[in-house]
Amino acid sequence: MSKFLKLAAVLAVVGSAGHADKLGLGRDALPEEIAAWDVAVRPDGRGLPPGSGNAYDGEEIFAEKCASCHGDFAEGLGNWPKLAGGWDTLDREDPVKTVGSYWPYLTTTWDYINRSMPFGDAQSLKPDEVYAIVAYILYSNDLVEDDFELSDQTLARFEMPNADGFIVDDRAETEYDQFSGDPCMTECKDEVKVTMRAMVLDVTPQSDESNVEPAQVGAQLLADASAQETAAESEPQKEEVAALDPVLIEAGEKVFRKCKACHQVGEGAKNRVGPILTGIVGHAAGQVDGFKYSKPLMRMADDGLVWDEDNLRAFLAKPKGFMKGTKMGFNGLKKDEDLAAIIAYLASFPN
């Protein structure tokens, strides 16, 4: 039971008729006062308020309310929690427990965001905003499409990938009797001291980071990497691209929504946190004028990296696996069809 449910239960008892008189303290709590504390949502959906929101709208809300801590793609920044990724890590000793990889019930995601987020401004979100944010988190985990709409009617029925990855807590039957005897009170330490604090260990996020804008975070990450001026002695030969499928290009435009927080493409595109991607397919890496690339990318560029379809596919599938030390926070595209679509979309914007 959450602390909020416990508090609601206590208030219900204290607020019962005549209880305040019996204790000689305060007054009976009003029903609306008790209800204001009881905001918990159960796994079966009880407690969800009416409302709905889709992943596309959730992306904008997430960028404004959440990305400064959790990253534009829910990948987490610094020590702030990762909300996406970790799908293939649960068999490890130290798994990455995200909403997509670990959570058994989607209702717990909605409940926590509604009660406790954004950091420092809890319970400021409207129900529709919470539905949209949760839908975007699902989208960031490749569990839904960007037009997916989540509502109080559908949320509790949504099946999470790790829903069957838990066991019943049977410690009351199997373990509690081992600890029910008299406590050992011998060979105790004379005194207990605090030897280290979480802040010093760098496992507690700094509170002032919550006010940093997402764009500032991205710019700082890039500034931390030693930059090199990009210069090309000659224009590299563009790779021939086969005739593109309009349907694939249209699908790629939707996939590109995952990228547009950092990249622009097409006429009038400008460098943002990431470089413009116009003409990238078939061209040498590290050639965008005015953009300062990271050392890892420039090393690969100096070794002759060309963004042909094979290299783009490998990089977009797993950026950190393809380029160790890359500053791109995106976790990668899981679906082959999404990779094919976004490459076709980028190829439709030649220089």
Q: Which residue has the higher pLDDT, 326 or 229?
A: 326
Q: Residue range 174-189: average pLDDT?
A: 80
**Among positive and negative, which fits the CA dihedral 283, 289, 291, 296?**
positive
Q: Residue range 26-32: average pLDDT?
A: 85
HEC string of the chain equals CCHHHHHHHHHHHHCCCCHHHHHCCCCCCCHHHHHHHCCCCCCCCCCCCCCEEEHHHHHHHHHHHCHHHHCCCCCCCCCCCCCCCCCCCCCCCCCCCCCCCCCCCHHHHHHHHHHHCCCCCCCCCCHHHHHHHHHHHHHHCCCCCCCCEEECCCCCCCCCCCCCCCCCCCHHHHCHHHHCCCCCCCCCCCCCCCCCCHHHHCCCCCHHHHHCCHHHHHHHHHHHCCCECCCCCCCCCCCCCCCCCHHHHHHHHHHHHHCCCCCCCCCCCCCCCCCCCCCCCCCECCCCCCCCECHHHHHHHHCCCECCHHHHHHHHHCHHHHCCCCCCCCCCCCCHHHHHHHHHHHHCCCC
Range with top average pLDDT, 198-207, 235-244, 268-277? 268-277
Q: Which residues pair with 52 in a beta bridge?
A: 151
pLDDT for the residue 218: 46
The reply to whether the predicted model has a pTM over 0.75 is no
Rounded to whole angstroms, the Cα distance separating 72 from 56 reads 13
Model confidence pLDDT, tens digit, residues 253-292:
988 888 887 889 998 899 888 899 999 999 999 999 999 8
pLDDT for the residue 201: 52
Lowest mean pLDDT among 34-43, 189-198, 233-242: 233-242
**pLDDT at residue 227 is higher than 50:** no
Peptide bond into 31 cis (omega under 30): no
Q: Which residues pair with 143 in a beta bridge?
A: none
Domains 43-151 and 246-347 share a fold: yes
Q: Which CA distances in Å does 183 have to 35, 187, 190, 282, 306?
A: 40, 12, 17, 71, 68
User: Domain extents for the chain?
Assistant: 1-38, 43-151, 246-347
pLDDT for the residue 20: 60
Which pLDDT band, with edges at 50, 70 and 90, does 58 fall under?
A: very high
Nearest to 11 by CA among 34, 45, 30, 31: 34
CB atoms within 10 A of CB 229: 8
Torsion of CA 102, 104, 106, 111, to 10 degrees: -90
pLDDT for the residue 197: 67
Listed in sequence order, the residues at least 6 apart from 187 whose beta carbon sits closer than 8 Å to its beta carbon are: none
Rounded to whole angstroms, the Cα distance separating 336 from 334 reads 7
Q: Which residues pair with 53 in a beta bridge?
A: 150
Model confidence pLDDT, tens digit, residues 333-351:
888 999 999 999 999 998 7
Rounded to whole angstroms, the Cα distance separating 343 from 210 reads 35
Listed in sequence order, the residues at least 6 apart from 7 whose beta carbon sits closer than 8 Å to its beta carbon are: 37
| Residue pair 15/28 in contact by the 8 Å Cβ criterion | yes
Quote the percentage of the chain above a pLDDT of 70.
81
- CATH (one of 1.10.645.10, 1.10.3720.10, 1.10.10.10, 1.10.760.10) for 43-151: 1.10.760.10
CATH topology for 246-347?
Answer: Cytochrome Bc1 Complex; Chain D, domain 2 (1.10.760)
Model confidence pLDDT, tens digit, residues 108-137:
999 999 999 998 889 899 999 999 999 999
Which pLDDT band, with edges at 50, 70 and 90, does 243 fall under?
A: low
What's the one-letter identity of residue 19? H
Lowest mean pLDDT among 60-64, 152-156, 187-191, 279-283: 187-191
pLDDT for the residue 203: 54
Rounded to whole angstroms, the Cα distance separating 221 from 328 reads 9
Which pLDDT band, with edges at 50, 70 and 90, does 84 fall under?
A: very high
Cα-to-chain-centroid distance, residue 288? 29
Position of tokens 């890590």?
89
Position of tokens 């959450």?
2
Overall residue count recorded for the chain in this entry: 351
pLDDT for the residue 19: 60
Q: Residue range 39-59: average pLDDT?
A: 91
pLDDT for the residue 52: 97
